[in-house]
Amino acid sequence: MNRRDFFATTALGGAASVLAPTAGFAFPSAVLNAIPPARMKLSFKPFTLELKHPFGVSVNTRSTTPIVLTTIEYGKFKGYGEASMPPYLGESQESVMKFLAKVDLSKVENPLELETILSAVDAIEPGNTAAKASVDIALHDLMGKIMGQPLYNVWGFNKAKTPNTVFTIGIDTPEMVRKKVQEVDPQFKLLKIKLGRDNDREIIEAVRSVSDKPLVTDANQGWNNKERALETIHFLKEKGAVLIEQPMPKEMVDENAWITERSPIPVMADEAIKRLPDLIKMKGVYHGVNLKLMKTTGLREAHKMIILARAFGMKLMIGCMTETSCGITAAAHLTPMVDWADLDGALLSKNDAFKGLTFVDGKITLPNAPGIGAVPR
Ligand code: MG
């Protein structure tokens, strides 16, 4: 019996016929055959995202975030993407646009061949993770639009399984922290509190004086003594913290692992794990990882990291930079696969250039439109 006969005479044959294309569902090749061949075109422009409140983390405070907005066109289809560059991460509008000028998509024949295209983009130069993410996001948006399906459907995720987002309270005076928490407390189920300067306990007490919501806490590498860090984590657990992000500098691998071994709540890597190889290097050092598209080079690699992290038994969070609703909505399509989401980045801004995901009582609600579903305002 040859292979073909085997499939025809077994139960698998039945399964195969169930999976065969039908009139109601267009497979990519059929979709592509139905649209006239076109030349892919990448364009990009700088944009400054203005923040509602100056945003403080352990290393700095700022009131704007430089962004580069990208568009990839293929015939009548248009995919949108973005790069967000908080200054401490080393990329700038200038470096992103310089990188994007080297991306030539004009010879791509199949716009759905994301593995091939994105591997080639990644190989142009090392680093430039936000610049690469801006191509990745626009390509995923374009793919969904060509296929006529929202991204969560392309991946096979259940959109009802999106988690609540946390809302982030940046570092500030205890009085301002109290005021900010009061402002947002009714709308969100979890709050994220930035720590790592010298007034952590005071900040937490200020939060607790006005809210009893569970807390996601983030030291942003701000602690430098492992025993004291662990003591603070026990205090945080007593005060209702559900996790702690990046307690100590990423270079202090043994110290972070020491804390993870003893911590009463999950210890999540953020700065320590950017891309897939970091996940392998840092295996066992943290309980989990906070993935952000601007670190992972976009959705493609973030998706692979989710699968690998799960295989390692790790917890997962999807986070963001301060971004427009384009990048945030893109990341939101991955959230049915993770434990926590920190996707408030667009809510912190005054001039969001896109309309996309919404929050219903803090729960991430994905748009139904094809692709990412983020529309320019
Ligand atoms: Mg963090």
Task: Tell me the CA–centroid distance for residue 353 and ligand 1, in Å.
Answer: 24
* pLDDT, tens only, 247-261: 999 999 999 999 999
Q: What is the pLDDT of residue 370?
A: 98
CB 244 within 8 A of CB 265: yes
Same domain, 51 and 104: yes
Same domain, 209 and 76: no
Q: Is the dihedral of CA 48, 49, 52, 55 positive or negative?
A: negative
Task: Tell me the CA–centroid distance for residue 197 and ligand 1, in Å.
Answer: 14
Residue 4 lies in a domain: no
Task: Tell me the CA–centroid distance for residue 359 and ligand 1, in Å.
Answer: 21
Task: Tell me the CA–centroid distance for residue 270 and ligand 1, in Å.
Answer: 5
pLDDT bracket for residue 88 (50, 70, 90): confident
Q: Would the pLDDT of 34 be above 70?
A: yes
Q: What is the mean pLDDT of residues 171-182?
A: 93
Task: Tell me the CA–centroid distance for residue 220 and ligand 1, in Å.
Answer: 5
pLDDT bracket for residue 16 (50, 70, 90): very low
Task: Tell me the CA–centroid distance for residue 46 and ligand 1, in Å.
Answer: 25
Q: In terms of DSSP bridges, do strands 288-291 and 315-318 run parallel, antiparallel, or are they unpaired? A: parallel
Q: What is the mean pLDDT of residues 140-159?
A: 97
Task: Tell me the CA–centroid distance for residue 28 and ligand 1, in Å.
Answer: 38
Residue 207 lies in a domain: yes
Residue 216 lies in a domain: yes
Task: Tell me the CA–centroid distance for residue 287 and ligand 1, in Å.
Answer: 14
Q: What is the mean pLDDT of residues 333-345?
A: 96
Task: Tell me the CA–centroid distance for residue 9 and ligand 1, in Å.
Answer: 54
CA 272 to chain centre: 15
Same domain, 158 and 79: no
* pLDDT, tens only, 229-246: 999 999 999 999 999 999
Q: Among 216, 209, 214, 217, which Cα is nearest to 182's? A: 209
Q: What is the mean pLDDT of residues 13-26?
A: 45
Same domain, 183 and 291: yes
Q: Among 171, 35, 161, which Cα is nearest to 109's? A: 35
CATH number for position 95: 3.30.390.10
Residue 15 lies in a domain: no
Same domain, 249 and 138: no
Task: Tell me the CA–centroid distance for residue 271 and ligand 1, in Å.
Answer: 7
Same domain, 128 and 237: no
Which chain residues have CB less than 5 Å from ligand 1, an ion?
A: 218, 245, 270
Domain count, the chain: 2
* Containing structural domain, residue 295: 153-376
CB 363 within 8 A of CB 163: yes
Same domain, 267 and 289: yes
Task: Tell me the CA–centroid distance for residue 155 and ligand 1, in Å.
Answer: 26
* pLDDT, tens only, 100-121: 999 999 999 999 999 999 999 9
Residue 9 lies in a domain: no
Q: What is the mean pLDDT of residues 134-147?
A: 97
Task: Tell me the CA–centroid distance for residue 291 and ligand 1, in Å.
Answer: 9
Same domain, 165 and 134: no
Domain boundary among 126, 149, 172: 149
Task: Tell me the CA–centroid distance for residue 83 and ligand 1, in Å.
Answer: 18
Q: Would the pLDDT of 32 be above 80?
A: no
Domain boundary among 132, 149, 166: 149
Same domain, 64 and 168: no
Q: Would the pLDDT of 8 be above 60?
A: no
Lowest mean pLDDT, pick from 24-38, 199-213, 295-309: 24-38
Domain boundary among 149, 176, 198: 149
Same domain, 294 and 248: yes
Same domain, 319 and 182: yes
| Mean pLDDT over the full length of the chain | 92
CB burial of 19-50 (b: ≥16 within 10 Å; e: otherwise) equals eeeeeeebeeeeebeeeeeeebebebeebebe
pTM of the predicted model as reported, rounded to 2 decimal places? 0.90
33 phi, psi to nearest 5 deg: -65, -25
Q: Which distant-in-sequence residues (6+ apart) come within 8 Å of 56 by Cβ? A: 170, 171, 172, 194
Task: Tell me the CA–centroid distance for residue 145 and ligand 1, in Å.
Answer: 32
Q: Would the pLDDT of 92 be above 80?
A: yes
pLDDT bracket for residue 336 (50, 70, 90): very high
Q: What is the mean pLDDT of residues 195-209?
A: 95
Across the strands, what pairs with 354? Answer: 376
CATH number for position 182: 3.20.20.120
Q: Would the pLDDT of 281 be above 80?
A: yes
Q: What is the pLDDT of residue 218?
A: 97
Q: What is the pLDDT of residue 29?
A: 65
Residue 1 lies in a domain: no
Task: Tell me the CA–centroid distance for residue 342 and ligand 1, in Å.
Answer: 9
Residue 12 lies in a domain: no
Task: Tell me the CA–centroid distance for residue 114 and ligand 1, in Å.
Answer: 29
Task: Tell me the CA–centroid distance for residue 186 and ligand 1, in Å.
Answer: 23
Task: Tell me the CA–centroid distance for residue 115 and ligand 1, in Å.
Answer: 28
Task: Tell me the CA–centroid distance for residue 57 and ligand 1, in Å.
Answer: 9
Same domain, 313 and 208: yes
